[in-house]
Amino acid sequence: MKVIVTKNYQAMSDYATKHVLEQLAKKPDSVLGLATGSTPIGLYDRLIKAHQSGLSFQQVTTFNLDEYQDLGPNHPNSYRHVMDDVLFDHIDINKDQTYVPGGEDDKYQSACEKYEALIKDHGPIDLQVLGLGLNGHIGFNEPGTPFDTLTHVIELDESTRKQNQRFFDSLDEVPTHAITMGIKTIMKTKDIMVLASGEEKKEAVKQLVEGKVTTTFPCSILQIHPNVTVIIDEAASQALQPDSITEKA
């Protein structure tokens, strides 16, 4: 696990963008795994700029980590809608090659199986972008999720619902369930980039990098993945031992 500490959010987003651009230069038809949430917005802004400067995403395929259950793709807070808004509508990617689990499918068990089959058909995922929940979740794999899970439906932790309330008018409107790639799905990706910014993430970052590998902090499993780059800003790095840091960029 490489740990890169950058000065601030902007520098974290710059570093992350460089990593994605290197991947696309190496393999223009890369399969990217994408996250929603606040953290990767700077990365997506920069990818849009790269497109405006000539980079094409026409050969790229994407798989998003997760989706709220029951919102439907037209709901402004559905991750399908958010991804269109923050990235896909602004680049030349073929929308048919951008996958988000669940979608309009209300038969969630078959939607999970379908998503795994799609990843198998198009994959493996070359580069997976992950954010980090305050409780150590990756995707929506909440604490206690077994490490051998594939795409599945999960009941969101109250803490996660409260954390995400900022995107909704009230807590009641935040869905109680989501469909998420499983931990095994994530661990099968070839390369993983974890992004975290801000002091509130420092304990989750410590568990990710230095904690015991335990389902109590799902992100800790990433310690045994062969190819993980953790890109964080100084604020998020505050609880780390100095020798855990690979590079200050």
Pseudo-torsion of CA 63, 64, 69, 75, nearest 10°? -110
Number of H helices, E strands in the chain: 7, 11
> Which pair of structure tokens corresponds to residue 5?
């500490």
What's the CA gap between 138 and 101, in Å, rounded? Answer: 15
* Site residues (vs ligand F6R, CB under 6 A): 35-39, 65-66, 131-133, 137-140
- 61-64 and 31-34 as β-strands: parallel, antiparallel, unpaired? parallel
What is the closest distance, in whole angstroms, from the C-beta atom of residue 237 to ligand F6R in the complex?
Answer: 16
Instruction: Give the nearer residue to ligand F6R in terms of CB position, either 4 or 186.
Output: 186
Instruction: Give the nearer residue to ligand F6R in terms of CB position, either 38 or 109.
Output: 38
Which residues, including other chains, have CB under 8 Å from residue 172's CB and lie 6 or more apart?
Answer: none
Which residues, including other chains, have CB under 8 Å from residue 90's CB and lie 6 or more apart?
Answer: 48, 51
Closest residue by beta carbon to ligand F6R? 131
What is the closest distance, in whole angstroms, from the C-beta atom of residue 126 to ligand F6R in the complex?
Answer: 18
What is the closest distance, in whole angstroms, from the C-beta atom of residue 23 to ligand F6R in the complex?
Answer: 19
What is the closest distance, in whole angstroms, from the C-beta atom of residue 229 to ligand F6R in the complex?
Answer: 16
233 is catalytic: no
Say which of 67, 126, 142, 233 is annotated catalytic. 142
Instruction: Give the nearer residue to ligand F6R in terms of CB position, either 137 or 161.
Output: 137
Instruction: Give the nearer residue to ligand F6R in terms of CB position, either 48 or 205.
Output: 205
66 is catalytic: yes
Angle between helices 41-52 and 9-26 (to 10 degrees): 50
Q: Please say whether the beta carbons of 196 and 131 come within 8 A.
A: yes
**Catalytic residue ranges:** 66, 135, 137, 142
